[in-house]
Amino acid sequence: MTKNKKQKESIAEAHQKKQQQKADEARNHKIKILRRILALICGLCGVILYLNTLHHGFVLDDFSVILENRITKQGLKAIPQIFSTSYRSGYYLGTDELYRPIPKSIFAISWNWFGNNPLPLHLLNIVLFGITGIVLFNFCYLLFPNLVFSFIASMLFMFHPAHRGCCQHKKC
Residue spans of the domains in the chain: they are 34-57+118-172, 61-115
Give the Cα separation of 119 and 132 in Å (integer): 20
6-60 per-position pLDDT tens digit: 776 777 777 778 888 887 788 888 999 999 999 999 999 999 998 998 898 988 8
User: Per-residue b/e over 110-148, b at no fewer than 16 CB within 10 Å?
Assistant: bbbeeeeebebbbeebbeebbebbbebbbebbeeeeebe
87-128 per-position pLDDT tens digit: 988 888 766 888 999 999 999 999 999 999 999 999 999 999
